[in-house]
Structure formats: C-alpha cells, structure tokens
Amino acid sequence: MPLALFALTAGAFGIGVTEFVIMGLLPEVGADLGVTISMAGLLISGYALGVVVGAPVLTALTGRISRKWVLVGLMAIFTLGNIACAIAPTYELLMAARVLTALAHGTFFGVGSVVATGLVSADKKASAIAIMFTGLTVANVLGVPLGTWLGQAFGWRSTFWAVALIGVLALAVIALLVPADKEQPEASDWRADLRAMGRTPVLLGLLTTVLGYAGVLVVFTYIAPMLTDIAGFGAGAVSPILLVFGGGLVLGNLVGGKLADRALAPTVLGTLAVMAIALAGMGVALHNPVMAVIAVGLLGATGFATVAPLQMWVLSKAEGAGQSLASSFNIAAFNLGNALGAWVGGVVIEQGPGLEALPIVAAAFPLIGLAIAGGAMWIERGRAIPRSA
C-alpha cells in the first residue's frame, strides 16, 4: 500500500479523536466553564450538526477542485478549529469552535475515500478504504482514552492542543505524499443527484441511520458520569474502560462488514435488533462493575456493527446517480443521530428520570429504526414481486 494512503489514515485519526474525546471530558469541561453536564453534552450535538451541514455543502462546493488540495484545506480547517477549542474562554466560543472543526469531517471522509481508491489497483480498492478508516477506529481504541487521560491529568485544553498538533502533522504528510489529481475532477449533475436522494428508499435508509446511531449516543455521550455515578468507578478508570469500548468498536465494525457482504438486508435488521438488546441490558449491567465493563464493550461492538450495513444499504438505494452525495448525506445522518442522541440524553438527565434511565430510552431508537427498515424492505419486496394476470 502506498505511503499516501497512510497520510489519509493520519487525518482520519485526528478527526476521530476530536469527535469522540469530548465524551470522556464532560465533567472537566463543565466544571471549568461553569455549565452542567447536559450543557457540556451539547458540544457533541453542535459538532454533529456541523458535520450535517458541512458534509453535503462542502462536497458540492469543492467538486471541481483538486482532491489533494481539498484534503489539505480540510485539515487546515480542522487544525484551526482545534486551536480555537483549546483557547476558547467561554462555553459559547467553545461551541462555535467545535462547529468550525466539524465542517471538515464529512467531506474529508467522502473525498478521502475517492482518493484512497485511486491510489491502488482495482483489486485493492476496498482494502484501501478500510486502511483509511482504520484511523477512525484507532482513534477510538487509543486516541480517545489517551486524550481523556491527558485532559484529566493536565486540563481538557491540553487534549485539544495535542489534536491540533496531529492536524498539523496530517496536513504536512498529505501535502507531501498524496499525489495531485491526474485530471481535474468533473462536477456531477446536482439535479440528478438530488433526484436520486429524493427516492423513498434512500430517505428511509437515511432515517434508519439517524435513529440507529441516536440510540448509541444517548448513552455514550454520558458514559463518563454513568461509570462514575452509577457503576461506582473513579474518574481515573474511565480511560481504561474506554479502551474496552474501542476494542468492541473494531470487532463490531469488522463483523458487521463481513455479514453485510453476505446478506445485506438481514444484517441491517439483525444489527439494529442486537443493538437495542445491548442498550436495554446496559441499564441492569451498570450496577455491577464487571458487567458494566462488559456492557461498554458490547455498546461499541453493537453500535459500530451497524455502520457498514447502513452505509451499504443507502448506497445501494441511490443506484448510480447521486451515490457520492448519498455517501456524504449518510455520514451526515450518522452525525445527526449523534446530535439527537446527545440532546435527548441531556433532556432525560435534566428534566426526566436521570442517568439511570438513559439505556432504556436509548434502546427505543434502534427499535424504531428496525421497524422503519423492516417496513421499507417489506414494501420494496412487494413491489419487486410481479402480480399475476
């Protein structure tokens, strides 16, 4: 595999750390800026909404620009955004900096996937994309726990300074190693793309993605206070337990992808059902320290087992025209689910039954997604069966 591919992996790693590391630092951020845990949790929602807006908009605006320099520009936005996070004196400015940083997220993965496949031969394209996305999984396995430890030991701002440094390094290696486009990219027909996006199966697929991932984020956003206040762990135990989540994430991602290659529709339905069961069971597991750690690992495994199947389902429904835009929109849909989940979790904490109710509330989201996906597949199957004369 060419070195340029690992430059993309470095960028994916930095973006992954920025998105998720804040979840382990909510108590520290809240205490420093004088806001509640639920208000601090909205920093995740703000980032997710930034991805929702940035992914399709920047994908459309940069369609005619050299992909290499699009990636360099996105890493510059990412780096400046993290510096702004590190120096933000108020909650409001930190929120604005998070949104700025998020603008680079969706388009980086969309454009990066295209560049990755162009770096290798036809029989290695899937492996190239997998290597790039390894940066995201490694961010969760190693980057998030280490970033959480760094923030707890030296202040949460130190974590953002460290991620900004990663951004500088990633920008440099992308500029140095990623080759320039052989020819200027051609802009797609946005009218045809939008028509493809407006198809009912695509819209239902995107809605299923939103609901499925919202369930994960209802719980994962507030995983640090749940582990300390319910399971009884000390703050220092949060980082090691997040390593378990990262291990589950990698395993679930690989298993979900393998199963989706064999039978896409059953995998979409099955992973959503298993996620709902894992979330509901977490409410009981949190009252036992050992079971709580196992539940965190299952959360990572079941949550990320849905990613590849849902992405493939949406792309299969776009059918040619609009697939690039559909890919960006599905990344946006995952992050819209992040925003919805973080917001709902905050409401449950502040105005509802509190932290202990989060797993049950979270389980409702993939169940609704399961019903929508099942209904969409049933309707599509009925249309595909020809009626007898």
> pLDDT at position 265, please?
85
Which residue numbers in the chain have pLDDT < 50? Answer: 321, 386-389
CATH superfamily of domain region 188-389: MFS general substrate transporter like domains (1.20.1250.20)
State pLDDT tens for residues 84-118.
999 999 999 999 999 989 888 878 877 777 787 77
> pLDDT at position 156, please?
92
> pLDDT at position 318, please?
67
Domain ranges in the chain are: 1-187, 188-389
Q: For residue 357, how far is the Cα from the chain centroid?
A: 24
The set of residues, in sequence order, having a beta carbon less than 8 Å from that of 382 and lying 6+ positions away, is none
CATH superfamily of domain region 1-187: MFS general substrate transporter like domains (1.20.1250.20)
